[in-house]
């Protein structure tokens, strides 16, 4: 198998059938030895976390595929910590699509003059940012994405609608476990004409609360997997 | 006349006919005694600049009103440094609407990974920011403005269309003087059902180049007024 990309937490290989194989590592992002899913540097290694994140991703990808929403997920081999996915071209060099149900985090820091911390955002709110630590992950609007030729207007509307639908699937699943989704981030790419959900869906991608208290990613994984 | 608001560069009075009177001051924004139209503090006083900004505003407001685009401008008295305007409720507490023809300034700083400095933005690009020095004037999208209840989607599309049309009027006027508009900022409000252009349109609101060289606001005013 040809290695096509070495990421921070995953290695990507090309498969003979034209798909890709993602190998989940035990490296996690963080800083100064502390696990931080939002960080852009590898902070430490946690034994078994690659497989835990893979299992969480399988859990959600299967629900999303079953709902008829296109993702890159094909199949997985948990023992091998690998996931077979459709080949996809990501939008830009690290475009994150965030869906927010509550005004927390950077949304509240930016717009606190206009909304209370933790206020509900009815129906969900979608925004996109470019991953760029030095610039504090700048927000990029629909019109900016079009003029920068990263994503056209039709693709934007498609990604927004998919994001609202996928977030509802995740939130409904968490709700059954007594958990409240506050926000979640995704990545998308295109495979031919199709816009598809790519990357992973693990506890580090979302901010979840239980009875008004933030749930740490490691605890959240256990709750999602019922382990 | 009742004073209703004391701004940094203008004082607002209520008129008996229901309109407002803006008195242009000679105070300009800046820092450390240096004129900087983008600053949020009054930096110094420049004799006669209030009237110059008023004359520039009259010049553009009359062209915009003549094109059938709604503004708050009613009439002006240059000797008195006053402008009579329609009463309007601004969107939010300082919402700036920016139209960009070229990738310079904060747009280039944010998105330089995806575009060359000074590149043309065909057709013009509109974005909105909340004035907030501490937060670096955060960008706010159409969806964010709606969920924060600052501006609904219909108003957003109206403001965007007005901004593109007004910017073209200003750019065409500057072009006749051999000047190139790179970007410009506006403020809008609503008067009943109508969305209208408010505030002023002076050299400090725009970034203009001549033969590839930036033109300072004071020089620009002289060129616009042909004085």
Structure tokens at A2: 């040809």
| Residue A93 near chain B (CB below 8 Å) | yes
A104 with A216, same domain?
yes
A205 with A101, same domain?
yes
Nearest CA in chain A to B109: A135
Cβ-nearest to B110 among A110, A122, A135: A135
- Which residue in B111, B137, B138 has the most chain A C-beta atoms within 10 A of its own C-beta, making it the best mutation to test that interface? B111
Question: Reduced to 3 states, what is the DSSP secondary structure of residue A30?
Answer: strand
A102 with A190, same domain?
yes
Least confident span in A23-27, A51-55, B40-44, B111-115? B40-44
| Segment B97-124 mean pLDDT | 96
> Which chain B residues are Cβ-neighbours of A130 within 8 angstroms?
110-111, 113-114
Nearest CA in chain A to B91: A114
Q: Do A142 and B142 touch (CB under 8 A)?
A: yes
Q: Which domain holds residue A63?
A: 2-89
Closest CA to B170 of B192, B139, B197: B197
d(CA B57, CA B95): 19
Nearest CA in chain B to A112: B148
> pLDDT by residue for chain A (227 residues), tens digit each?
899 999 888 999 999 999 999 999 988 777 777 777 667 777 788 888 999 999 999 999 999 999 999 999 999 999 999 999 999 999 999 899 999 999 999 999 999 999 999 999 999 999 999 998 888 899 999 999 999 999 999 999 999 999 999 999 999 999 999 999 999 999 999 998 899 999 999 999 999 999 999 999 999 999 999 86
State how many domains chain B has: 2
Evaluate if residue B140 carries a pLDDT over 70.
yes
> Which chain A residues are Cβ-neighbours of B130 within 8 angstroms?
110-111, 113-114
Q: Do A113 and B132 touch (CB under 8 A)?
A: yes
- Following DSSP, what letter does each residue of B146-158 receive, concatenated? HHTTSS-HHHHHH
Which CATH number characterizes residue A141's domain?
A: 3.30.470.20
Shortest Cα distance, chain A CAs vs residue B42, angstroms: 23
* Digit-coded pLDDT (tens) for B47-88: 888 999 999 999 999 999 999 999 999 999 999 999 999 999
Q: What distance lies between CA A7 and its chain's CA centroid?
A: 15
d(CA B12, CA B16): 13
Q: Identify the DSSP state of B40.
A: S
Evaluate if residue B40 carries a pLDDT over 90.
no
d(CA A205, CA A184): 6
State residue B38's pLDDT score.
66
Q: Do A132 and B113 touch (CB under 8 A)?
A: yes
Say if CB B4 and CB B13 are below 8 A apart.
yes
Nearest CA in chain B to A146: B125
Say if CB B183 and CB B206 are below 8 A apart.
yes
> Which chain B residues are Cβ-neighbours of A150 within 8 angstroms?
114
Four-CA torsion A184, A40, A154, A4, nearest 10 degrees: -120
State residue A37's pLDDT score.
67
Q: Report CA-CA distances (Å) from B60 to B155, B166, B187, B197.
A: 23, 9, 14, 11
Number of A to B CB contacts under 8 A, please give it: 65
Cβ-nearest to A93 among B113, B140, B148: B113
A73 with A109, same domain?
no
Nearest CA in chain A to B144: A125
Evaluate if residue B46 carries a pLDDT over 90.
no
B121 with B55, same domain?
no
A84 with A107, same domain?
no
* Digit-coded pLDDT (tens) for B163-220: 999 999 999 999 999 999 999 999 999 998 899 999 999 999 999 999 999 999 999 9
Say if CB B126 and CB B97 are below 8 A apart.
yes
B116 with B66, same domain?
no
- Which residue in A99, A137, A142, A143 has the most chain B C-beta atoms within 10 A of its own C-beta, making it the best mutation to test that interface? A143
Instruction: Tell me whether residue B73 is exposed, middle or buried, using C-beta atoms within 10 angstroms of its C-beta: 0 to 12, 13 to 18, 19 or more.
Output: buried
A219 with A184, same domain?
yes
CB atoms within 10 A of CB A70: 16
Closest CA to A219 of A62, A42, A26, A227: A227
Evaluate if residue B16 carries a pLDDT over 70.
yes
A83 with A100, same domain?
no
Closest CA to A85 of A97, A71, A103, A96: A71
Which CATH number characterizes residue B8's domain?
A: 3.30.200.20
| Segment B149-154 mean pLDDT | 96
Cβ-nearest to B121 among A113, A114, A147: A147
B111 with B206, same domain?
yes
d(CA A185, CA A137): 13
Structure tokens at B127: 């974005």
B 160-219: CB under 8 A from A: none
Q: Do B147 and A93 touch (CB under 8 A)?
A: no
A99 with A73, same domain?
no
CB atoms within 10 A of CB A75: 12
Closest CA to A224 of A97, A63, A32, A91: A63
Per the prediction, chain A carries an average pLDDT of 93
d(CA B64, CA B164): 12
Nearest CA in chain A to B101: A147
Shortest Cα distance, chain B CAs vs residue A153, angstroms: 14
d(CA A130, CA A120): 25
Structure tokens at B144: 């964010």
Q: What distance lies between CA B212 and its chain's CA centroid?
A: 22
State residue A34's pLDDT score.
74
State residue B227's pLDDT score.
67
Q: Do A143 and B149 touch (CB under 8 A)?
A: no
Closest CA to A142 of A132, A128, A131: A128
Q: In the listed set A38, A54, A89, which residue is the last one of a domain according to the structure?
A: A89
Q: In the listed set A89, A115, A147, which residue is the last one of a domain according to the structure?
A: A89
Q: Report CA-CA distances (Å) from A92 to A198, A227, B163, B178.
A: 13, 37, 28, 37
Helix (H) or strand (E) holding B97: strand B95-102
State residue A38's pLDDT score.
66
d(CA B158, CA B152): 10
A 111-170: CB under 8 A from B: 111, 113-115, 121-122, 125-127, 130, 132, 135, 138-144, 147-150
> Which chain B residues are Cβ-neighbours of A113 within 8 angstroms?
93, 130, 132
Question: Reduced to 3 states, what is the DSSP secondary structure of residue B186?
Answer: strand
Question: What phi, psi does B126 have (nearest 5°)?
Answer: -110, 135
Per the prediction, chain B carries an average pLDDT of 93
State residue A227's pLDDT score.
67
B8 with B19, same domain?
yes
Q: In the listed set B40, B62, B89, which residue is the last one of a domain according to the structure?
A: B89
């Amino acid at each position: 198998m040809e290695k096509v990309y070495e990421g921070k937490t995953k290695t990507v290989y090309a498969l003979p059938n034209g798909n890709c194989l993602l190998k989940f590592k035990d490296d996690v992002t963080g800083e100064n030895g502390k696990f931080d899913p939002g960080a852009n540097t590898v902070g430490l290694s946690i034994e078994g976390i690659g497989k835990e994140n893979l299992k969480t991703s399988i859990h959600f990808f299967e629900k999303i595929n079953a709902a008829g929403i296109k993702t890159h997920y094909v199949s997985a081999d948990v023992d091998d910590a690998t996931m077979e996915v459709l080949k996809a071209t990501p939008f830009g060099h690290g475009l994150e699509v965030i869906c927010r149900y509550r005004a927390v985090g950077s949304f509240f820091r930016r717009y606190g003059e206009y909304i209370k911390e933790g206020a509900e955002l009815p129906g969900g709110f979608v925004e996109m940012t470019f991953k760029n630590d030095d610039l504090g992950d700048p927000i990029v609007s629909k019109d900016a994405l079009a003029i920068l030729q990263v994503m056209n207007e039709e693709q934007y509307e498609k990604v927004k609608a998919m994001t609202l639908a996928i977030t509802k699937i995740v939130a409904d699943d968490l709700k059954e476990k007594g958990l409240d989704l506050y926000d979640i981030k995704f990545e998308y790419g295109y495979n031919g004409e199709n816009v598809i959900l790519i990357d992973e869906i693990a506890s580090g991608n979302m901010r979840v609360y239980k009875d008004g208290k933030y749930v740490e990613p490691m605890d959240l994984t256990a709750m999602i997997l019922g382990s």
